[in-house]
Structure 1
Amino acid sequence: MEPFVRLDGIAAPMFRDNIDTDAIIPVSRMKALDADYGAGLFANLRYRADGSDDAEFVLNQPAYKHARILIAGDNFGCGSSREQAVWALLRFGIRCVIAGSFGDIFYGNCF
């Protein structure tokens, strides 16, 4: 992510611990060369099996559809090395993640 001094925007609460890189961007959403990483962000949580939006998921709720800040629990971005997890957040429009802690590899991929 590119550094910034100030960010104004909506903050979406996603108070879950251990959100891994597969939850952030499932491998099924990375197969195409022109993959739309923003649409793939949290795909297994944002969409139902039929592809429709899950209205209960925070980023599908009207108040948070244009969130620029994500507030998460501990160990955000844990799991396998997947730089596309950072790309998916950026392409969706998330510029800042505030969490109790971050997975080491995910954290490194942010810079």
Structure 2
Amino acid sequence: MSETIVSTSEHTPSDKWWILIAVLAVLVPIIALLGAAFPPDVYTSLTVAPFGLLAWILAFLSPLIVYFDKQYVTAVSDWTPSGWYYLMIAPPLTLVLPFVYLYERHKYVGTP
């Protein structure tokens, strides 16, 4: 005897992935400005290093973060984010793409 189990509820992906993109969008320019404004001494390095490490980790994981947020966005709106947003991992693009992504996401989803 074989039973087939059918799920009637659809699973909606988490809507919180954009927060990590927003943190990346805020951290990277601040770290760049601090690095340009202050001399590279031990105190500045020790102050900025934890934030730099967090920004580096988020930038490294940004393709995965964009992938999961893309699942949510396509499930709840008509917008399908471009594959170009996966390039958020590239250092020069890390300054621009998070802001562009969050702006486009806001137009279609409403948050952030």
Measured against the shorter chain, the TM-score band is under 0.3
The structure whose residues are more often helix, as a share, is 2
The structure number with the bigger radius of gyration is: 2
State the TM-score, normalizing by the size of structure 2.
0.24
TM-score, structure 1 as length reference: 0.24
